[in-house]
A = this chain, B = another copy of it.
Amino acid sequence: MVHKSATLAINEALERRLKAGEKVLHLGFGEAGLPVPDFILDVLREAAPANHYAPVTGEMAAREAAAGWFTRRGYPTDYSQILLGPGSKPLLFAAIMALDGALIIPQPAWVSYAAQAELLGVDTIKVPIGDECGGVPDPRLLSEAIAQANHDGVKIGGILLTLPDNPTGTVASQQDVDAVVEIARVNNLTIISDEIYADLVYSGEAPSPLKTYPEKTLVTSGLSKNMSLGGWRIGYIRFPRNDWGDTMRDTLIGIASETWSAMASPMQDVAAYALSEPPEIQEFVTKSKRLHEIISTAIWQEFVNAGAICRKPTAAFYIYPDFDPLRDILAAKGIDTSEKLAHELLTKHGIGTLQGSAFGDVPEALRLRVATSLVYGRTNEQRWTAYDSEDPLELPWIQESLEFLRDGLAALRR
């Protein structure tokens, strides 16, 4: 029995509560929380008549624009290295399907990597992240895990990195990435690098294994996070420009053609436009990122003030607080797992988060994935106001959410 993705499930459950008029603070879902700007709406509307089946790879203009996105970031890319798909999720699914061996994933990691591997009968090996950031396995533990796998005769196919990371809202340094790259290189392992939040590093410095290990790195991304277009299902994957890359690309084209065919045709023009990054797109990403940083940091502060340990967010719109310092207080209430903690917060205090165990974390760790972007507003008017605001923390509905959170966390520790 396959269960519904935990992130999608909590979002649907919280949306139902909100629609029923319940007072709930929705911190459960990684939607970027902003509306579609008119200049993007216009592109989709213009492209609506495109009802032909698009090429499996994506239309040439979209592939070239995605190639340009990488090239402008210092990774020269030809259109032939790009495959588009209906979101990065199916592309990750296909990449995992194409691996020859087990998949190493960070612990914790985004809910769907392990679930996809399980659907495909691919074994996963979880390697804990370090103290500073998520998305990359701790190098020492990674080496140990590989040695153990070799000892057990388990063939490893690849390592998955999330740069920047969901669930922790942090981004590894290039040095962290290179430590993993060295291990991958020695063991001739593929790296699948999920870089869908790459444009949302607060400092602007996005690391990538493409810098030092381009020959065996697959990068997935999409417009769901930087452009806030999750529901439009626009994703892409970049292959190395070598024989191995060509083989992987052709394999994924085969999988794509028999699984989802192609990204919706009207969305091809949206991809071509947004990925070419004209000034208005750049401005939208820059201003969105600023809002994400301000709100994520404020919410992080609330959790720290409430006594949780938490890595300070450096990217995207998540934090991953650890309530271990409150373990005794919580144990007195019968709360000794992240699942019970998330349940208590939701049912007693109206705060919707997701337990760390959904991300493959150890169940007893009192860690939660807190998504911060749905507090920007419930209406597009509120969201645009937050986006344009000099000081979004002063907006009444955001203040109200932060107060609601503060009160709930205070009640939790009482």
Contact = CB atoms under 8 A, between A and B. Distances in A.
Interface string A96-122: 010000000000000010011001010
A11 B1 CA distance: 37
Contact of A97 (B9, B31, B49, B119): B119
Nearest to A46: B45
A7 B3 CA distance: 33
A232 B4 contact: no
A307 interface: no
Interface stretch (A253-261, A314-322, A396-404): A253-261
A392 interface: no
B251 A50 contact: no
A55 B7 CA distance: 11
Residue picked from A90, A230, A253, A266, most chain B C-beta under 10 Å: A266
Nearest to A32: B51
Contact of A87 (B35, B44, B261, B267): B261
Interface residues of A, number: 60
Interface string A371-383: 0000000001000
B116 A259 contact: yes
Contacts of A262: 8, 231, 233
A261 B8 contact: yes
A75 interface: no
A48 interface: yes
Interface in A39-57: 41, 44-45, 48-56
Contact of A257 (B4, B55, B232): B4
A258 B52 contact: no
A2 B254 contact: yes
Given A251-B1, A254-B3, A266-B232, A259 B11 contact: no
Given A8-B261, A53-B230, A231-B265, 7 more contacts: A1-B254, A5-B261, A8-B55, A51-B229, A52-B230, A89-B259, A259-B259
Interface of A: 1-5, 8-9, 11-12, 29, 31, 35-36, 41, 44-45, 48-56, 86-87, 89-90, 93, 97, 112, 115-116, 119, 121, 228-233, 247, 250-251, 253-255, 257-267, 380
5 contacts: A2-B255, A4-B257, A5-B56, A5-B258, A51-B228
Q: Which 9 A-B pairs have the closest CB atoms?
A: A2-B254, A231-B265, A5-B257, A115-B258, A45-B45, A233-B264, A4-B257, A53-B230, A44-B48
